[in-house]
Amino acid sequence: MHLAVRLVPRALLPNLAVTTALALLGLAAAVAGGIAMGWLLFAVMGWLAAGAAVRSLRRVPVLSIGPDGLVDHRRDVSIRWSEIESLRTLDRRAVFGPTPLLELIPKTSFTQPRSALWLAVLRGDLAVVDARDSSRHMIDLRHLDHTPEDVMAAIRANRDVAAPTPA
């Protein structure tokens, strides 16, 4: 059973609207009032709005699950089922609510180029705390066309196919 998981662009529109509005508010405060914090608000919210816009235009799968393993296309990481020690879904508490995550703990630490990790952070695909931790691989399950339960069901089905059955 192969599952290709994609982002749902419509789910990112509220985020894009709010960050764009706040960026424009910061720009107005900076230009009209000469407020330095306005420029900071403009820069941060503009970066977040740009990230939401880029993610909403992405049409390729962000996660592929198959009998051979799992591929996270956002970080360009391919993990075979035999390399995963444990996995689970969890909710990380964010500012406005829980963020569903898939946590993969490999048998050995990941070796990924630092530039790829920080590019994923700058694109908004990865949190800074997760980029610094090479002992696990975190996958954000927000705004996807499949629920976290569907993703876990596909993982279980594919791991069962890949696992050798005892004779």
pLDDT level of residue 40 (50, 70, 90 thresholds): very high
| Radius of gyration from C-alpha coordinates of the chain | 19
pTM equals 0.72
Strand order in the sheet with 84-93: 84-93, 98-106, 137-140
pLDDT in tens, 118-135: 888 887 777 777 777 778
* Residue 56: φ, ψ to 5°: -70, -20
Whether the pLDDT of residue 155 is over 80: the answer is: yes
In 3-state terms, what secondary structure has residue 5?
Answer: strand
Residue for token pair 């749902």? 8
Q: How does DSSP assign 48-72, residue by residue?
A: HHHHHHHHHH--S-SEEE-SSEEEE
